[in-house]
Structure 1
């Protein structure tokens, strides 16, 4: 269900799986519309990464190679770069890991509380006032917690899966942050 993670590096196929999983989970929720701007942004990120990969599959089978190439070309800080895509995909997955941690640690919280706390810990510092304000408005439309867990996991208990995902995926995200920091690109804000 959660996909394959290759320790220390993210392959292009893993990236596709993560983007698709995140978008599809939100789109399956009948009471919640995935914000079109977020869906479009993920689709554009996926398109950029696919296009770059397709231009030279043997060179760009690892996303870090895309970043290194963009650094050499001095295009890494562009809002339309694959580097920016990897950075924001990593941050989005930070949010998802924190969301699952909150679901596990706070069974009494509403989805709005779970999402808001996750957002404040992971994405808020990178967003400007418009994105932060939009998030606050979106939380008024957050789905019911029970409905959310039913949609992503059916009738089965998700706790073990969420815990395994967080334990497995967190070191991988840390590795992405370390790599991006090592090239001076982990602290870019939204443009």
Structure 2
């Protein structure tokens, strides 16, 4: 195995292969691939992310099934969103538009978490997770979801334990930090584009219970 290999470095390698001049960054297939990476990262945090992980898994499956039903027609997230907007189904609980919205928010949470992790070397991991949650997901969560998070955060692993698992078999922590910075830079254009699509269709303010 290559020294310093981790799921994050693998994601960086894959995203780096994308054409930087491609204006279809919000392709459904790329979005699904990044969402599946997100699941792997949350798995590393442990049981505390079980509820969020299940939501992400459900949303990935919903969008994937929709995409596979006619992949040529729904190759971009914009087409998926516009179809449901035109049909008046975008705001329904089982819509792909909601799936895209919550997957995007979950990615933003993960990016915030990873950025804080490498910038703040002193704070407890529990505090870092809580701060990332408060600035990303919490504004969109109702009291049920917020209460579930408060209970789950008590199961957060130690910072060193999480970093060790993220770093991979070779435990190259310096390379992990560089990979996280690279991943954030590569993900930001995708997140910016999808957020713009959601705003343009007035789908960006939806809250959960």
Deviation at 1:34, TM superposition (A): 5.7
Give the TM-score normalised by structure 1. Answer: 0.90
String of CA shifts for 1:126-170, please: whole Å, max 9, x gaps. Answer: 001121121122111111111111111220121101111122212
CA contact (8 A) 1:127 1:189 kept: yes
Match of 1:18 among 13, 28, 34: 34
String of CA shifts for 1:12-39, please: whole Å, max 9, x gaps. Answer: 222222222222233356xx22654333
Cα 1:34–1:110 shift into 2, 3 Å: closer
Give structure 2 stretches of 5+ with no counterpart.
1-9
Partners of 2:114 and 2:83 lie apart in 1 by 34
Q: Partner of 1:52: helix, strand, or coil? A: helix
Where does residue 44 of structure 1 map in the other structure? 58
Where does residue 7 of structure 2 map in the other structure? none
CA contact (8 A) 1:111 1:144 kept: yes
Deviation at 1:111, TM superposition (A): 1.0
2:104 is aligned with 1:86: no
Q: What's the RMSD between the two structures over aligned residues?
A: 1.8
CA contact (8 A) 1:27 1:34 kept: no
Q: Partner of 2:122: helix, strand, or coil? A: coil
String of CA shifts for 1:111-136, please: whole Å, max 9, x gaps. Answer: 11110110011011000112112112
CA contact (8 A) 2:43 2:49 kept: no
Q: Partner of 2:92: helix, strand, or coil? A: coil
* Count of aligned pairs between the two proteins: 189
Partners of 2:24 and 2:104 lie apart in 1 by 13
Partners of 1:26 and 1:116 lie apart in 2 by 14
Give the TM-score normalised by structure 2. Answer: 0.83
Cα 1:98–1:91 shift into 2, 3 Å: same
Partners of 1:8 and 1:90 lie apart in 2 by 16
Q: Which moves more between the two structures, 12-21 or 133-142?
A: 12-21
Q: Partner of 1:118: helix, strand, or coil? A: helix
Where does residue 135 of structure 2 map in the other structure? 121
Cα 1:102–1:144 shift into 2, 3 Å: same
Q: Partner of 2:115: helix, strand, or coil? A: helix
